[in-house]
Structure 1
C-alpha cells in the first residue's frame, strides 16, 4: 500500500487523505514535519538526503523531514520518523509552523503545511540508508552563510524556514520560550 498524507487547508484543518506521490504530482496542500536537532554547543544536525529520494535527493537538509500518517498525532509522527530516519531518540517540541509551495525539476510539487520541531541530542546518528546518505553537525552561523552562498546544495524547505529556526532557537536559549 502506498504511503498516504493528510490533506489540509491553510489553517491546518484536515480535509482528506491522498496517496503521497499523487499529492506531490497534483500539488495538494498536505501536513508535514521538519525536525531540527541541536547538540549542547548549539550546532544543528543535518542529513544529506538519500540520492534515491523522489525529490531533492543528494541535497543537505534539516535533521529529519517527513509526513504524519492519517490519524497519527504530529508530535508522535515526528518522534517516529526521527528514530526511523536518523536513529535518534530525543524529546521534541513543536516551535512553529509555516506553509510553502515549490515545484521541482522532475515535475513534483511540494505544497506543505510544515510543523517545525526542535530537539536536543548529543552523539552520532544511525542513518537509514533509504533516507539519508550522510550527516554532519554544523554551526548555525556557518549554515546561514552556506545557504546564501550555495543554496543549490540544500533542500528548499530548509532555506525557506532557516531564519525563523535561528530566531526561535536564539529566543529559546535566552529564556524567551519554555524548552
Structure 2
C-alpha cells in the first residue's frame, strides 16, 4: 500500500472533500482536481528560497519555483506532507504554518495539466539546504521584489503555479 500511496493523488471536489485516489500521471493527463501543497521558506532577511526543478522532471524541468511542492498522501495532514516533502527535496526540516488554499489549473506543453486544490505552507530557515539532485537542479534566496521583477522580465523561467500563486496570493504567502 505504501508504493500505491506515493504514486497516487487524492481527488477532491471544489470544497476539498475527498472523492478517491488516482495514479498521479493519470490525474495530470485527465486534468482531475486533486489535493496539493506549496511550501514557501523564508530567511531572516525575508528572502524566499527558490528551487530550480531537476532537469529530469516529467513536467516543467529546469524551471524556477517555490521552495518545494507535492501531493499529500492518504491520512497525512497538510503540515505533515509539507515537512516530509521539504526534507525529501531540500534536505532540511523546519516548522510550517498553513496559510490559505485555492484552486488553479495550468496546462503544460507535454499534454499534462496541473489542476490542484493547493495549500500554501510557510516556514523559516536560515541555513543552506542539502537538495536532492533527483528533485532539485539548483536553489537560491531572492527577495520578493526581485522575484516579481524577474517573473515580469522572464516569465518562461518560472513554473505556472508559482506565477499564479505569486500574482494572486503574494500577501498570503509571506511569513508572519
**TM-score, structure 2 length as denominator?**
0.94
Show the counterpart of 2:133: 129
1:99-148 Cα distance to aligned partner (Å, 9 max, x none): 11111110001100000000000010001111110000001100011111
**Match status 1:152 vs 2:156:** yes
101, 104, 108: which one pairs with 1:100? Answer: 104
Q: Do the aligned partners of 2:104 and 2:115 also contact (CA within 8 Å) in 1?
A: yes
Show the counterpart of 1:117: 121
Q: CA deviation at 1:98?
A: 1.1
**Match status 1:16 vs 2:10:** no
Rounded to whole Å, the distance in 2 between the matches of 1:109 and 1:166 is 23
Structure 2 gap segments, 5+ residues each: none
**Match status 1:138 vs 2:116:** no
Show the counterpart of 1:66: 70
Q: CA deviation at 1:165?
A: 4.6
Structure 1 gap segments, 5+ residues each: 174-179
Rounded to whole Å, the distance in 2 between the matches of 1:93 and 1:69 is 18
For residues 168 and 14 of structure 1, do their structure 2 counterparts lie closer, same or farther at Cα, with a shift above 3 Å needed? same
Rounded to whole Å, the distance in 1 between the matches of 2:92 and 2:164 is 24
Number of corresponding residues: 172
143, 157, 172: which one pairs with 1:168? Answer: 172
Rounded to whole Å, the distance in 1 between the matches of 2:58 and 2:155 is 19
Rounded to whole Å, the distance in 2 between the matches of 1:100 and 1:165 is 12
Q: Do the aligned partners of 2:120 and 2:173 also contact (CA within 8 Å) in 1?
A: no
Cα RMSD (Å) of the superposition? 1.3
Q: CA deviation at 1:163?
A: 3.5
Following superposition of structure 1 onto structure 2, how do residues 12-51 of structure 1 map, counting pairs within 5 Å? 12-51=16-55
Q: Do the aligned partners of 2:54 and 2:61 also contact (CA within 8 Å) in 1?
A: yes
